[in-house]
Structure 1
Amino acid sequence: MSAYLVSLLAILGGIVFALAIGKLLGRGQRVSTGEFSGQALSLIGGVLLSSFVLLTGFQVAGSWSALSTARARTYDEARALTDVYWAAGGLPDEGRTKVRALLKRYTDRVVREEFPTLATGRTDPASWQALDDVRGALNTIEVSRADEVAAKSAAQSNLATVYQTRADRAAQVQAGMPVVTWLALLVAGCFLIAFPAILGLADHPRNVVGLCFVGAAVAFAVCLTAQLNHPFRQPFAVRPTAFSFAETRFHQMDG
């Protein structure tokens, strides 16, 4: 059974249960006159607010976790690049020069070309090709001495880490919270805003001002969770700081 169908059935079940409880227990003089105490209204409002806060907290926690993971993975990838660059220092002169030049080209392309592309929800194919060029050059280097063999093995091992972390970054580009949670958040937010008006508490200008504040707060919360949902989009986008630092380390190791 589809997960969306299960969610829909659960929602319908909740509505039916609430309707049945309302019909069975919602009888009496107070119900017929439509008069309720402030305590009862506060309880209903508190339930609505708690539902919205619960959904918002779930969205923010999930999105923030994904954002933090995406940022951490960029540093893992950049650190692996510097390890490859360092290990390449033990290769024969010609191979060392070629591999390091290709690593610089790949890192430069990630910083200046790929990160702007990540904001559109996709990776840069040319950056993949640039990384493949590094692997191809490294694999074709002939080594004979024991230290050169060890250097090549270390470079290949760290390059495999670069591929793994890059693949993780590519997967996170299109990752996000499930659509059903966004629908639940929007419905809860709309009903939270509409609740005072449904009770007739928006018939005075001062009450309308308060209701507008509630609407602004709910809209801001929804907007914030939406912005956090995409780790490579502004305003909370992961930046290529780690790769810029790797470029600095390359120049240091050259010296």
Structure 2
Amino acid sequence: MSTYAVSLPATIGGGCFAFLLGRFLATGKRAATGEFSGQAQSLIGAVLLSSFILLTGFQVAGSWSALSDARSSTYDEARALADTYWAVGGLAPADRAKVRTLLRTYTDDVRTVEFPVLSHGGTSPTAWQDLDAVRAAVRTAPASGAGPQAAKIAAQSALDTVYRTRTDRAAQVKGRMPAATWIAMLVAGAFLIAFPALLGLTVTARHLTALCFVGAAVAFAICLAAQLNAPFQRPFGVRPTAFALADARYAQIDAERSGGSTAPPR
């Protein structure tokens, strides 16, 4: 069934029902002269305002939730990368150096190459290849003895988290709020701005100033919702801060090891 198979006919039906009520029930003297009662104006205005607030709130809340999930996911991935970097410290020196170099390459590519691609709704194939190279290097690393074996298992477990969070990011970059809610919000906002003029707003400086404020507020709300709807685009989108922190953690682990620590704290 089409996405709009129910909502579109229901919307049209509601509009037709209101038209019929207005056409055949509003037959009094006040209606014939084109006058509006204060109660009617208040009701219509309140419905328009409530509809716009409801739709805007739904958009902003949904987009903000998706943005927060995307940001949290990047920090989860960065922590898992640092865990992998730390865990491979138990491998043989040559394998440890190889895996850590690959981890640094992947982290740098995510930060410098992939994030600009994410802002356009895609992911970087190069970063995927870098991560596959890390996994292959860990899998093929010899692990003779209890220590190297435990290090290998810990690194593979952390890499599983990296893959999961990275896959989540690939899905989040495509996530958007439904188009129907955007259309409804735009229509509600347009009618909210036009409502005073439809009722015969007098063209005075005070009234036009107030109407301009209403238009500016509606436009700002729509613009804010649109900006929040893209979790990896500026100005509110996720930035690669988590991966810069991962690089800093790599340097800390290297410094701890060179300082004589055989098992740097996580």
SS across alignment from 1:112: helix
SS across alignment from 1:236: coil
Question: Could you report, residue by residue, the CA deviation over 1:28-73 in whole angstroms, capped at 9, with x for unpaired residues?
Answer: 1111122223232122111111110000000000000000000000
Query: Equivalent residue for 1:91?
Result: 91
Q: Which runs of 5+ in 2 are unaligned?
A: 256-266
Measured after TM superposition, the shift of residue 219 of structure 1 is 0.7
Structure 1 residues 186 and 8, CA gap change in structure 2 (3 angstroms)? same
CA contact (8 A) 1:78 1:242 kept: yes
Supply the distance in 1 between the matched residues of 2:27 and 2:247 (Cα, whole angstroms). 73
Q: Which runs of 5+ in 1 are unaligned?
A: none
Give 1:163's aligned amino acid: Y
Measured after TM superposition, the shift of residue 212 of structure 1 is 1.4
Measured after TM superposition, the shift of residue 14 of structure 1 is 0.9
Question: Structure 1 length normalisation: TM-score?
Answer: 0.97
- The 5 Å alignment of 1:184-199 reads 184-199=184-199
Supply the distance in 1 between the matched residues of 2:135 and 2:220 (Cα, whole angstroms). 46
Query: Equivalent residue for 1:181?
Result: 181
Measured after TM superposition, the shift of residue 202 of structure 1 is 4.2
Query: Equivalent residue for 2:61?
Result: 61
Structure 1 residues 160 and 200, CA gap change in structure 2 (3 angstroms)? same
Measured after TM superposition, the shift of residue 114 of structure 1 is 1.1
SS across alignment from 2:236: coil
Query: Equivalent residue for 2:151?
Result: 151
Query: Equivalent residue for 2:250?
Result: 250
Give 2:44's aligned amino acid: I
SS across alignment from 1:89: helix
CA RMSD of aligned residues (A): 1.1
Is 1:237–2:237 an aligned residue pair? Answer: yes
Supply the distance in 1 between the matched residues of 2:229 and 2:50 (Cα, whole angstroms). 22
Supply the distance in 2 between the matched residues of 1:117 and 1:181 (Cα, whole angstroms). 27
Residues matched between the structures, number: 255
Measured after TM superposition, the shift of residue 211 of structure 1 is 1.2
Query: Equivalent residue for 1:21?
Result: 21
Query: Equivalent residue for 1:132?
Result: 132
Question: Structure 2 length normalisation: TM-score?
Answer: 0.93
SS across alignment from 2:177: coil
Supply the distance in 2 between the matched residues of 1:159 and 1:145 (Cα, whole angstroms). 21
CA contact (8 A) 1:52 1:185 kept: yes
Supply the distance in 2 between the matched residues of 1:35 and 1:120 (Cα, whole angstroms). 52
Query: Equivalent residue for 1:11?
Result: 11
Structure 1 residues 202 and 234, CA gap change in structure 2 (3 angstroms)? farther
Supply the distance in 2 between the matched residues of 1:9 and 1:164 (Cα, whole angstroms). 41
Measured after TM superposition, the shift of residue 16 of structure 1 is 2.0
Give 1:203's aligned amino acid: V
Give 1:253's aligned amino acid: I
Query: Equivalent residue for 2:71?
Result: 71
Supply the distance in 2 between the matched residues of 1:24 and 1:168 (Cα, whole angstroms). 55
SS across alignment from 2:98: helix
SS across alignment from 1:71: helix
Moved more, 67-76 or 37-46: 37-46
Give 2:92's aligned amino acid: P
Question: Could you report, residue by residue, the CA deviation over 1:154-176 in whole angstroms, capped at 9, with x for unpaired residues?
Answer: 10111011001001011111111
